[in-house]
């Protein structure tokens, strides 16, 4: 092992200018190196379910793991740890030693665009799973970066929204998963959130970073900004933000930091503290010992394939199984059974959009997986049923409607960058795949006008639909004819950033065999209010033939379903519908309810209809009473098709449990009416008026019919029974909950035993119960296992804002055991004869 580097000695060798240079990134992903002083750079990489590498477009292929919501549904910390280990190995293949994950913000509202990237509505489940994931990552010498600290629960105006949150809600709900993971796993980095908390940006929030994180919790790692999320010079330095990302700096330029020093706004001691923390991370990662790898590699490991398939299947939740229509095993199906696969069966819904996106090594669709599993037994038919796209697909050099040739005469598009600061400086790059350019991850388009040019020869005559959007003013020309113009900056810059904005569609008539010069011209945006976008040009052109755009897909699907013995409808969100950068616009499946009407039409045509839904969040299910079975598949990674097929066929007995409540109506959600907020003096402001009553804590107070499926719910192909529960106080600070769990059915299977606790004396200001322990148990038919679940006394506490302390009041406490928050099998009571108080 390399000898430990004396960080203070290294710090003393640095000039003031060199210390300041360490406080911001060098480029989009890396820190600053100071070779003359032996200080190397380190590279970061997204993200939560795969390591993308440096490029957002055409990036090196990587393993795509199940999204955090899917991992949460396993209720299996050991599995989360194994995924963490694998992600660290993946990070190394991308030349990175700092993984920008996990995301642990709470599912506050079902329409949160980035919910899929976080674990759960429950802070205890979130924190414990994140802890194990972090331990797995860091056991391989890679830094985990827990994010976003704190309360990044919405994407609408996420860089400027002011969130009004009471301290009790902050402590018990939103800070709690961070506290659990920070204290248990000690992540080497924490990323601040974009938003403001009670009027102060998180990156400049002294209470958050200095008092709570580093003070009360005793944490000693690196605080890194979200990309473009540094909002002050002196404020962020004094609060404890060590590193501004990305580089080069926008706020922490050398002149600005020197000016803050000269004005006495920042001390030299603070500069030293921030620089020392950056050097400490470099040391923790072993970077001083040798050159960090920078070459990106795509290594498709068989063990990662197996882990992804296992984790994806174990996270799938069986929500309904009327008449035991599932599993569709080859033993149960007659030879020649006709099964209609409808909807998104040929789509691999691997992940949500934004930072979680990766260029997967491969993607297995349900269509392919079910053929592999049952192809010798049944006959499959198919109907597309619905258009899934929010945006028309970008034109590809391999477009089915014709061909595209760049200015060099080869397939693809030519990109031309015109430097606005030096008009004589023009760069031309040929051979690009798509009629789109995203500037994230590179500096190529910084303060440059962009043209994307290609000669398009359509294969069919007729009208085609064209749609376009750019970050800044944009025009689309066909043979020098202006066919579309966006005169201002994009109205939804965050949506545009992650290719999930709204675009106007225009129709244009083409003749087959004739060549048309397509040219998209776009300017960089200005005055966006988002530093990460300032000066960066981005644009996309979408395209679809009229016959496909306007086809009667639903009618075809109903006809195919009617001719089958059973129908499976695949529904869900692709990365344009559920993504970083944009909250969902509707509780219903897209688009404008078309998937809902598809399910209803198929169920009307075939009484044996099964729905497999791939979303990271709850959705409306107006058709729930019309179908025989519902499977919630989440975003299960590159093996999603195989994971789904494993559960549908019974190769894997479903054992997932919902990490979020599925309400019947969006109006019954706890944050309804306070999401995404209202504008106050030109700034979006959102009040967390529901306080601590998030998720099942809210629904526990409502009639059960308000909920389609409760938190913790999940069916199996076998059955389980709990024996008599016993609660023993093993110390002043801990309880032990023991119970026998039996598999009373005929198949091997797993279930999550859940322990909830709450005061028997109901009070309107307190939740009825909260999750305090859980474990996954897997049993053979007839097998019984004794389970012992530890419960910390502090997990019974509430936060007393007046006294600034955690309090467990004296009295009777109920420990409720069950298989969901609403399916409680047993309750045991414990009486505490005196209160317990915990300081900060």
Concatenated DSSP letters of 67-115: PHHHHHHTT-HHHHHHHHHHHHHHHHHTT-SEE---B-----STT-TTG
Asked if residue 693 lies in contact with residue 701, where contact means CB atoms within 8 angstroms, the answer is: yes
Residue 355, both tokens: 């930072």
Q: Which two tokens stand for residue 296?
A: 């990106």
Can you tell me the distance from the alpha carbon of 748 to that of 652, in angstroms, rounded to the nearest whole number?
9
Q: Is 432 left (phi over 0), alpha (psi -120 to 50) or beta?
A: beta
DSSP state, 42? -
Could you give the C-alpha distances from 488 to 435, 484, 581, in angstroms and in order? Answer: 20, 13, 19
User: DSSP letters of 245-308?
Assistant: -SSSPSSS-HHHHHHHHHTTSS-HHHHHHHHHHHHHHHHHTTGGGSPPP--------HHHHHHH
Alpha helices in 620-715 (DSSP H): 640-649, 696-699
Active site (annotated) includes residue 480: no
What number of other Cβ atoms are within 10 A of residue 465's Cβ?
Answer: 17
β strands within 493-641, DSSP E: 505-510, 516-522, 539-545, 566-572, 609-614, 629-632
Look up tokens 């789509």; give the residue.
347
Report strand pairing: 683-687 vs 162-164. parallel
| C-alpha closest to that of 250 among 529, 537, 582 | 529
How many CB atoms are located within 10 Å of the residue 488 CB?
9
Rounded to whole angstroms, how far apart are CA atoms 675 and 137? 34
Q: Which two tokens stand for residue 387?
A: 């258009």
E strands, 324-473, are 337-343, 378-383, 402-405, 413-419, 426-432, 436-437, 448-458, 462-470
Separation between Cα atoms, residue 496 and residue 808, nearest integer Å: 48
- Catalytic choice (76, 226, 242, 574): 226
Tokens describing residue 739: 């119970």
Closest by CA position to 326, among listed 611, 658, 569, 629: 629
**How buried is residue 487: exposed, middle or buried, by Cβ count under 10 Å (0-12/13-18/19+)?**
exposed
- DSSP code at position 202: G
Q: How far apart are CA 739 and CA 750, in angstroms?
A: 16
Asked if residue 209 lies in contact with residue 240, where contact means CB atoms within 8 angstroms, the answer is: yes
Buried b (16+ CB within 10 A) or exposed e, 585-601: eebbbbeeebbbbbbbb
Name the pairing type of β-strands 196-197 and 798-800.
unpaired
- Nearest CA to 40 out of 10, 9, 4 is that of 10
Q: Which residues are catalytic?
A: 226
């Amino acid at each position: 092992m390399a000898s430990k580097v004396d960080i203070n000695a290294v710090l003393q060798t640095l000039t003031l200018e060199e210390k300041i240079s360490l406080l911001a990134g060098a480029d989009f992903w890396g820190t600053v190196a100071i070779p003359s002083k032996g200080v190397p750079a380190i590279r970061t990489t997204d993200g939560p379910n795969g390591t993308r590498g440096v490029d957002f477009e055409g990036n090196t292929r990587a393993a795509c793991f199940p999204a955090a919501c899917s991992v949460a549904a396993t209720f299996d910390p050991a599995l989360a740890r194994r995924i963490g280990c694998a992600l660290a190995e993946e990070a190394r293949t991308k030349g990175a030693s700092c993984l920008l994950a996990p995301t642990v913000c709470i599912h506050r509202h079902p329409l949160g665009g980035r919910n899929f990237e976080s674990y759960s509505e429950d802070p205890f489940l979130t924190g414990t799973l994140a802890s194990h994931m972090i331990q797995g990552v860091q056991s391989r010498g890679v830094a985990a970066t827990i994010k976003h600290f704190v309360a990044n629960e919405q994407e609408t105006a996420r860089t400027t929204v002011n969130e009004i949150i009471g301290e009790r809600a902050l402590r018990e709900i939103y800070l709690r998963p961070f506290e659990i993971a920070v204290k248990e796993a000690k992540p080497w980095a924490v990323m601040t959130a974009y938003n403001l908390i009670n009027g102060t940006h998180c990156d400049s929030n002294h209470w958050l970073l200095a008092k709570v994180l580093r003070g009360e919790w005793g944490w000693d790692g690196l605080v890194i900004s979200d990309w473009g999320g540094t909002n002050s010079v002196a404020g962020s330095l004094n609060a404890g933000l060590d590193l501004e990302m990305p580089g080069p700096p926008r706020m922490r330029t050398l002149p600005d930091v020197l000016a803050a020093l000269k004005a006495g706004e920042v001390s030299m001691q603070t500069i030293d503290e921030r620089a020392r923390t950056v050097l400490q991370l470099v040391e923790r990662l072993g970077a001083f010992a040798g050159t960090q790898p920078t070459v990106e590699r795509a290594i498709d490991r068989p063990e990662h394939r197996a882990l992804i398939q296992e984790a994806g299947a174990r996270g799938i939740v069986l929500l309904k199984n009327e008449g035991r229509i599932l599993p569709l095993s080859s033993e149960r199906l007659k030879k020649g059974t006709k099964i209609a696969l409808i909807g998104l069966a040929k789509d691999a819904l691997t992940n949500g959009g934004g930072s979680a996106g990766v260029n997967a090594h491969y993607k297995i669709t349900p269509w392919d997986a079910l053929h592999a599993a049952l192809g010798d037994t049944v006959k499959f038919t198919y109907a597309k049923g619905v258009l899934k796209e929010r945006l028309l697909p970008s034109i590809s050099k391999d477009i089915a409607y014709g061909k595209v040739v760049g200015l060099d005469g080869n397939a693809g598009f030519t990109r031309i960058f015109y430097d606005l600061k030096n008009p004589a400086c023009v760069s031309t790059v040929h051979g690009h795949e798509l009629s789109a350019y995203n500037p994230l991850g590179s500096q190529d388009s910084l303060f440059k006008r962009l043209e994307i040019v290609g000669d398009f020869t359509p294969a069919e005559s007729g009208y085609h639909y064209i749609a376009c959007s750019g970050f800044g003013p944009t025009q689309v020309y066909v043979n020098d004819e202006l066919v579309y113009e966006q005169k201002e900056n994009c109205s939804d810059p965050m949506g545009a950033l992650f290719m999930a904005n709204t675009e106007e569609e225009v129709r244009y008539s083409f003749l087959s065999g004739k060549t048309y010069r397509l040219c998209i011209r776009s300017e960089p945006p200005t005055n966006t209010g988002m530093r990460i976008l300032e000066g960066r040009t981005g644009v996309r052109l979408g395209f679809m033939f009229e016959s496909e755009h306007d086809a009667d897909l639903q009618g075809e699907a109903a006809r195919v379903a009617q001719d089958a013995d059973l129908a499976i409808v695949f529904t869900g969100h692709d990365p344009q519908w559920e993504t970083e950068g944009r909250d969902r616009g509707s509780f219903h499946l897209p688009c404008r309810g078309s998937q809902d009407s598809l399910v209803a039409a198929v169920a009307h045509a075939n009484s044996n209809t099964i729905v497999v839904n791939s979303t990271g969040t709850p959705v409306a299910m107006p058709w729930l009473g019309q179908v025989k079975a519902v499977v919630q598949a989440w975003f299960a990674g590159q093996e999603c098709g195989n994971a789904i097929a494993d559960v549908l066929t019974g190769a894997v007995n479903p054992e997932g449990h919902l990490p979020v409540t599925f309400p019947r109506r969006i109006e019954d959600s706890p944050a309804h009416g306070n999401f995404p907020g209202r504008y106050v003096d030109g700034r979006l402001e959102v009040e967390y008026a529901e306080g601590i009553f998030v998720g099942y804590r809210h629904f526990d107070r409502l009639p059960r019919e308000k909920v389609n499926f409760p938190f913790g719910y999940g069916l199996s192909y076998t059955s389980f029974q709990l024996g008599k529960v016993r609660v023993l106080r093993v110390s002043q600070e801990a309880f032990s909950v023991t119970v026998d769990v039996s598999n009373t059915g005929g198949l091997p299977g797993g279930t999550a035993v859940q322990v909830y606790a709450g005061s028997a004396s109901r009070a309107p200001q307190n939740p009825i119960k909260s999750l305090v322990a859980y474990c996954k148990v897997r049993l053979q038919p007839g097998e019984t296992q004794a389970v012992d679940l530890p419960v910390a006394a502090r997990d019974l506490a509430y936060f007393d804002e007046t006294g600034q302390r955690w309090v467990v009041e004296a009295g009777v406490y109920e420990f409720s055991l069950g298989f969901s928050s609403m399916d409680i099998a047993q309750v045991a009571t414990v009486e505490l004869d005196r209160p317990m108080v915990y300081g900060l």
